[in-house]
Copies of this chain bind each other. A is one copy, B any other.
Amino acid sequence: MRIVVLAGGIGGARFLRGLQAAAPEADITVIGNTGDDIHLFGLKVCPDLDTVMYTLGGGIHEEQGWGRADETFTVKEELAAYGVGPEWFGLGDRDFATHIVRTQMIGAGYPLSAVTEALCARWKPGVRLIPMTDDRIETHVVVDDPDAGPGGGRKAVHFQEYWVRLRASVPAYAVLPVGAEGAKPAPGVLEAIGEADVILFPPSNPVVSVGTILAVPGIREAIAEAGVPVVGLSPIVGDAPVRGMADKVLAAVGVEATAAAVAAHYGSGLLDGWLVDTVDAGSVAEVEAAGIRCRAVPLMMTDLAATTAMAREALTLAGEVRA
């Protein structure tokens, strides 16, 4: 079975571990979000790709969900001693090595997809990990500009500045995948979608993770036209995000933070099946009325067993919608 998964960071990576356990023989291709990539200290940092790679490769900081286990922060402390920031982005020494290798390869002319493949040669994540694009897409978030004059004003900041520095604590008025209109899917992305037996949307952020991947021209269309089951898992449980601050960016795109509203946001033209948590069983009828097959199952990724069960439910639902 060939499975394509559109993945953001922590949520996508943890779901993938469950999927590998649920379908150990499957051939899994992960299309990774690169909209939250950022240049720091002259280095190219790809948080979502690395979270998937480290998680599936056994190098992740398990409790934190991102970054390396047994991490130290000597380089960052030294950079701060030079007065060089930002200090709000936590890059550890082990993590720095990944960004140094990536930046060196990019500088030598290799596209990000080739670089990601080279990095995965070390981590052996057990999936094929492809960035959504080799082109530059940067997710920006429009927020109030505290430095604006009388009458106020707004400005666009890098997603990481909104998410990490501001901790999504200020109103977001828009989410802009800057550069998306001119971007092309990375080599292998459309081919993987075209050859897939199932396409899954893990409980990743529907706006800044899966939404950004779908913003790359050609990817949404390829999924809609693939003619195979497309099944998603709600990142919203009981009207609140399971993890992270998805409700904040959902508001920015005018979507209510409910499992049903997220399904409607993807739409029946894209989504064939949708899993909501058992606490949201009341919304199953609403989702099905919108033309999307829906089941209520436990959706908390508390451990590998729970996550594996979720992945199994997603594959079961895919089998149902196919039939």
Contact = CB atoms under 8 A, between A and B. Distances in A.
Interface stretch (A89-97, A128-136, A215-223, A280-288): A89-97
A233 to B, nearest CB: 33
A104 interface: yes
Contacts of A76: 97
Contacts of A84: 100-101, 104
A100 B77 CA distance: 13
Interface in A51-108: 72, 74-79, 81-84, 93-94, 96-98, 100-101, 103-104, 107
Q: Which of A75, A83, A101, A118 has the most CB of B within 10 A?
A: A75
A98 B84 CA distance: 10
A296 interface: no
B96 A75 contact: yes
A115 to B, nearest CB: 11
A100 B98 CA distance: 14
A286 to B, nearest CB: 49
Given A75-B96, A82-B119, A84-B104, 19 more contacts: A41-B101, A41-B104, A42-B100, A42-B103, A43-B100, A72-B72, A74-B74, A74-B93, A75-B93, A75-B94, A75-B100, A78-B93, A78-B94, A78-B98, A79-B101, A81-B97, A81-B122, A83-B122, A93-B93
Interface string A110-124: 000000001101100
A97 B122 contact: no
A156 to B, nearest CB: 22
Contacts of A103: 42
A42 B43 CA distance: 10
B83 A97 contact: no
Contact of A79 (B43, B74, B82, B97): B97
A229 B77 CA distance: 44
A100 B72 contact: no
16 contacts: A41-B100, A42-B104, A72-B74, A74-B93, A74-B94, A75-B97, A76-B97, A78-B93, A78-B94, A78-B97, A81-B97, A82-B101, A82-B118, A83-B122, A84-B100, A93-B93
Contacts of A93: 72, 74-75, 78, 93
Nearest to A94: B78
Contacts of A107: 42
Contacts of A75: 75, 93-94, 96-97, 100
Contacts of A43: 100
Contacts of A41: 100-101, 104
Nearest to A84: B101
A96 B240 CA distance: 42
